[in-house]
Structure 1
Amino acid sequence: MKLVFLFYISCLLATAITSGVEEDGERWAVLVAGSHKWVHYRHQASVCHAYQLLHNQGIPDDHIVVIMYDDIAYNTQNPNPGVILNEPEGPNVYDGVPIDYKGIHVTPTNFLKVLAGDDTGMADIGSGKVIKSGPNDRIFIDLVDGGGFDHFAFPYSILTAQTLHNHISQMYADKKFKEMMIFIESNDSGSMILNRYPDEMGVYAMTATGEIGNAYAVHWSAELDTWMADAFTLAWMKNSEMNDPTKQTIEEQFNQTREWVARSAVHCYGNMNIQQEFVSAFFGEWKSNSSFNFDLEEFGRLQKDAVPSIDAPIVYLKNHLKSAETEEEIVYWSQQLTSLEKKRNFLEDTTRNIVLSLTKNEELTKEIMNSSDREVNDWDCFGPAVEAFHENCFNLGQNHYGFRMLGTLLSLCAHGYSADEIIKATESVCVFPKFVDID
Structure 2
Amino acid sequence: MRISRQTLLLLSMLFCIYTQIAGQEQNNQLPEKYVESVQRSTHTNNWAVLVDASRFWFNYRHVANVLSIYRSVKRLGIPDSQIILMLADDMACNARNPRPGQVYNNAKQHINVYGDDVEVDYRGYEVTVENFVRLLTGRTQNGTARSKKLLTDAGSNVLIYLTGHGGDGFLKFQDSEEITSQELADAVEQMWEKKRYNELFFMVDTCQAASLYEKFTSPNVLAVASSLVGEDSLSHHVDQSIGVYMIDRYTYYALEFLERVQPNSKKSMGEFLQVCPKRVCISTVGVRKDLYRRDPNKVPITDFFGSIRPTQISTGRINITLEDEEDFINAAIAAEEEAAQRSTFKVEFPSQFPTELFK
Give the TM-score normalised by structure 1.
0.61
Structure 2 match to 1:65: 84
- Within 5 Å, give how 1:272-283 maps onto structure 2: 273-276=294-297, 277-283=299-305
Cα 1:110–1:4 change in 2 (3 A) is closer
| 1:189 is the counterpart of 2:209 | yes
1:165 Cα deviation from its structure 2 partner: 0.3
Cα 1:3–1:191 change in 2 (3 A) is closer
1:20 Cα deviation from its structure 2 partner: 8.9
User: What amino acid is aligned across from residue 158 of structure 2 in structure 1?
Assistant: I
Structure 1 match to 2:103: 84
Aligned residues: 293
SS in 1 for 2:171: strand
Structure 2: how far apart are the matches of 1:281 and 1:26? 9
Structure 2 match to 1:174: 194
Structure 2 match to 1:252: 271
1:248 Cα deviation from its structure 2 partner: 1.1
- Within 5 Å, give how 1:176-325 maps onto structure 2: 176-194=196-214, 196-198=215-217, 201-244=219-262, 246-258=265-277, 261-271=280-290, 273-276=294-297, 277-284=299-306, 289-295=350-356, 298=359
- Within 5 Å, give how 1:35-434 maps onto structure 2: 35-88=54-107, 89-95=109-115, 96-119=117-140, 121=141, 123-124=143-144, 128-155=147-174, 156-194=176-214, 196-198=215-217, 201-244=219-262, 246-258=265-277, 261-271=280-290, 273-276=294-297, 277-284=299-306, 289-295=350-356, 298=359
Structure 1: how far apart are the matches of 2:189 and 2:29? 28
Structure 1: how far apart are the matches of 2:229 and 2:29? 43
| Root-mean-square deviation (Å) | 3.0
Structure 2: how far apart are the matches of 1:220 and 1:25? 41
Cα 1:21–1:260 change in 2 (3 A) is closer
Q: Which runs of 5+ in 2 are unaligned?
A: 1-14, 310-347
SS in 1 for 2:203: strand
SS in 2 for 1:255: coil
Cα 1:54–1:124 change in 2 (3 A) is same
Percent of aligned positions that are identical: 25
Per-residue CA shift, 1:263-294, capped at 9, x if unaligned?
A: 11111113353522111110116985323211
Structure 2: how far apart are the matches of 1:208 and 1:201? 22
SS in 2 for 1:278: coil
2:166–2:172 contact (8 Å) kept in structure 1: yes
Q: Which runs of 5+ in 1 are unaligned?
A: 299-439
Give the TM-score normalised by structure 2.
0.74
Cα 1:203–1:39 change in 2 (3 A) is same
Structure 2: how far apart are the matches of 1:185 and 1:106? 17
1:113–1:122 contact (8 Å) kept in structure 2: no
1:22–1:136 contact (8 Å) kept in structure 2: no
1:250 Cα deviation from its structure 2 partner: 1.0
Q: Counting helix residues as a fraction of each chain, which structure ranks higher? A: 1
Structure 2: how far apart are the matches of 1:181 and 1:240? 15
Structure 2: how far apart are the matches of 1:147 and 1:210? 12
Structure 2: how far apart are the matches of 1:257 and 1:8? 48
